Structure 1
Amino acid sequence: MTRTGGVAGRARWTVAVTVLTVALWPGTAVAGRSSPDPVPVCQIRDPRLTEISGMVATDAGFVVVNDSADEASRRRIFFLDGDCAVVRTVPYPSRPRDTEDLAVGVDGTLWVADIGDNDRSRDTVALWKLAPGAGRPVLHRMAYPDGPHDAEALLLDGAGRPVVVTKQGGAAGLYTPTAPLRPGTTTPLARVGQVRLPATTTANPFAFVGRRLVTGGATAPDGRRVVLRTYADAFEFDVPDGDVVAALTGGTPRVVPLPDEPQGESVAYRRDGRALFTVSETADQPPGSRPTILRYALPAPAPAASGTRAPAGTAGPTGGDPTPSAVPAAGTPGGSGGVRSLLLGVGVIVAGLLVVSLTGAGRARRTGR
């Protein structure tokens, strides 16, 4: 998510179109599976980490990145221990534009997705590749075939190929590189499909818009599942043969509600694949708010099948959380009820457009970036 100084008509128009698209997109609302409240793992107290947009779990803790930041101290890859304390940072060799997600390869390589583009104005997007033990990430540029897109989710398929998932109302686009990524060149992307997430009724700060915009993704350590999240829910797809695109375009996800997270943009699998971690941005929350990593239980995974990838090397699997510290429990009420009727949807559209027109930048920036 990118913050911009002056928000003009285009930002308001983007949100208005998103409201219309999301509200009128066909689909039946589902409540999501019943699940226990999330378990707080640890609080992040470093003042540089208030806009966390991407996260992965490791044996020792977590790795996180902020989205675009004006302060140079925030534009780094942050390594955390099990208590959420920063133990190492890695700077970029040049300024990233808008880092939005993280993924980890089978060999422990970190992929930082520099793919945010709220204004739809970038000629290229990028992935930063940080090999195990490297002191600096390497930049790989990519270009969409059909104009700029905003995106906040990155997945890896069974062959280690990146899959970018766009952030838009209705159906999210799926894009993959047409050739191996190489530093110093721009690799064309190809649109390989789209994913329609089922509508839900889960409570979140952005109402029905927040239930349809993809804000993050993660690939399970064994490669047999992937998850996409919105501001309201996580959607887990089975990937039995490593083909992530086929799973997203043809599979039916399991829904895990993530109710009332303040601004949820990150999701990661625990190293044993049996739980999800999430964390919210806190930049616009009340003073003193700190990002808290939450754990959501998942059903036990199915037995491993042949042809699936092994767990990542340097970030290998563990049986549980990385040395969690005691964190005060935070209330997370369940989803709100009821399937929207057509009249209610139209009424909300009109109200939403009026709010966007009158208030301008405020929430439009936060939900549309």
Structure 2
Amino acid sequence: MGDVLVRTLAGVGVAVVLPVTPAFAVGTPAVPASAVSTAAGSTPGLLAPAEVTPAAAEGSLAEGRPAAATPAAGSPAAEGTPAEGERETVAFRISDPRITESSGLALSPTREGVVYTHNDSDAGPVFYALDDDGKTRATFTLRGAQARDWEAMAASRDPATGRGVLWFADIGDNFDGAWPDISVYKVMEPGTLRDATLPAVRYRFTYEDGGHNAEGIMVNPKTGRLYVVTKQFAGAIYEAPRRLRASGTNVLRKVGSAPIMATDAAYAPDGSSFVIRTYFSATVFSGFDEQLAKVSMPAMDQAESIAYTRDGTALLTGTEGADSPVYRVPLPAKALPSPSPSPSARAEEAAEPAEDQESTPASATAADAPGGITGRDILLWLAVALGATGVITFIARKTR
């Protein structure tokens, strides 16, 4: 019986000790590159590229501020207030003395560091290209266009060519129906930033339910569709036809409601949401009549314009007046764009075996694990092995 007991205990000892080896050999699992936080050093600029990184979605915003922690339920950030440490700042001031009624604002869809703006009524069909410190780089005039009451602008990309497209909205109507129609001008973004006169295509519109005063337009970057937002106590969002006609009149149809006295609107760069500005605040929507978050706005003399930064993590908002400031307002966490997987992350996901496929044994990947078997691992394994051997020897002697 003693020999049987020794063999039995020896088998138990082997079963206990040997599995320890591959466990130590594997060591600490490798961390995929996609799982490493990119917050360190990730500080997209004011007009940073539109690609959204995980760090940006977590709150890593412009001007070198650190990434904000994920807000807890019920915290100010979760309820629509920017995270602690994120505050509105003056991005730049419009210093050109000719720009005294900046009424529209849009970032260049193709050039980093360029912002476009225009004056309100009675200033002619002119718009300006500014750099990100507010200085005018070029002045452009639209050939054959009118500027009855320019109130807003938007920017998009031509899906066929990738060129930038600028839209200027002559949609102001303080008498809610004084004009028989309104106009929006489409201009291809200039190839060079030098003063020039540019050709424009004019699209005429009427509302399906009569005239309205309006001060906001936006273009969905996913579909290229144009929307007009009215400025009224019972404001609304009107959708333009999918295909616009330069001859004849296009009919705008109501698709949603808008906050009281809306002064501008803009789509997020990824098309996942849009914002509507009023004199006192801004509201981010995930869809028509689907409110996502309210954003407090800085006090201004006459708040007129709003646009997203290129990375979609903040808003730029401006006002009329000489030497007018343009503020950068960070978005609350719930209104940030969803991060898109990076190419490396997508490649890693594609390389991972499916759930119904046989996984590679841990022992086969030991050589690939960072660090492999360390000296500490070997000493620990030897201690366990010697301990088990000692117990077996002691019991074997007792059973003789």
Structure 1 partner of 2:186: 129
Structure 2 partner of 1:303: 338
Structure 1 partner of 2:238: 175
Match of 1:94, as an amino acid?
A: A
Question: Partners in 2 of 1:232 and 1:194 — Cα distance?
Answer: 18
Match of 1:60, as an amino acid?
A: G
For the residue of structure 2 that corresponds to 1:109, the secondary structure is strand
Structure 1 partner of 2:269: 221
Structure 2 partner of 1:39: 89
* Identity score, percent: 35
Aligned length: 242
Which has the bigger relative contact order, CA under 8 A and spacing at least 6? Answer: 1
**Root-mean-square deviation over aligned CA pairs:** 2.1
Contact 1:123–1:143 under 8 Å retained in 2: yes
Structure 2 partner of 1:83: 133
Contact 1:226–1:237 under 8 Å retained in 2: yes
Structure 2 partner of 1:255: 294
Structure 2 partner of 1:64: 117
Question: CA offsets, 1:264-291, max 9 Å, x none?
Answer: 1100101111111111111xxxxxx511
For the residue of structure 1 that corresponds to 2:288, the secondary structure is helix
Question: Partners in 2 of 1:87 and 1:302 — Cα distance?
Answer: 31
- Call closer, same or farther: CA 1:304–1:127 in 2, change over 3 Å: farther
Q: Which runs of 5+ in 1 are unaligned?
A: 1-30, 198-211, 239-246, 283-288, 307-369
Question: Partners in 2 of 1:303 and 1:94 — Cα distance?
Answer: 39
Q: CA deviation at 1:104?
A: 1.2
TM-score after normalising by structure 2? 0.57
Question: Partners in 1 of 2:140 and 2:337 — Cα distance?
Answer: 36
Asked which structure has the greater CA Rg, the reply is 2
For the residue of structure 1 that corresponds to 2:262, the secondary structure is coil
Question: CA offsets, 1:120-162, max 9 Å, x none?
Answer: 2011111110113372222111111222100011122331111
Structure 1 partner of 2:40: none
Contact 1:179–1:188 under 8 Å retained in 2: no
Q: CA deviation at 1:43?
A: 1.3
Question: CA offsets, 1:313-356, max 9 Å, x none?
Answer: xxxxxxxxxxxxxxxxxxxxxxxxxxxxxxxxxxxxxxxxxxxx
Question: Partners in 2 of 1:132 and 1:34 — Cα distance?
Answer: 33
Contact 1:114–1:126 under 8 Å retained in 2: yes
Match of 2:307, as an amino acid?
A: A
Structure 2 partner of 1:266: 305
Structure 1 partner of 2:99: 49
- Call closer, same or farther: CA 1:232–1:155 in 2, change over 3 Å: same
Match of 1:113 among 157, 169, 194: 169
Structure 2 partner of 1:351: none
Q: CA deviation at 1:190?
A: 1.7
Question: Partners in 1 of 2:309 and 2:172 — Cα distance?
Answer: 25
Match of 1:277 among 316, 325, 329: 316
Question: CA offsets, 1:4-58, max 9 Å, x none?
Answer: xxxxxxxxxxxxxxxxxxxxxxxxxxx9626654211211121221111110123
Question: Partners in 2 of 1:133 and 1:34 — Cα distance?
Answer: 36
Question: CA offsets, 1:173-217, max 9 Å, x none?
Answer: 22122452122321122222323x4xxxxxxxxxxxxxx310001
Contact 1:165–1:214 under 8 Å retained in 2: yes
Question: Partners in 2 of 1:248 and 1:179 — Cα distance?
Answer: 17
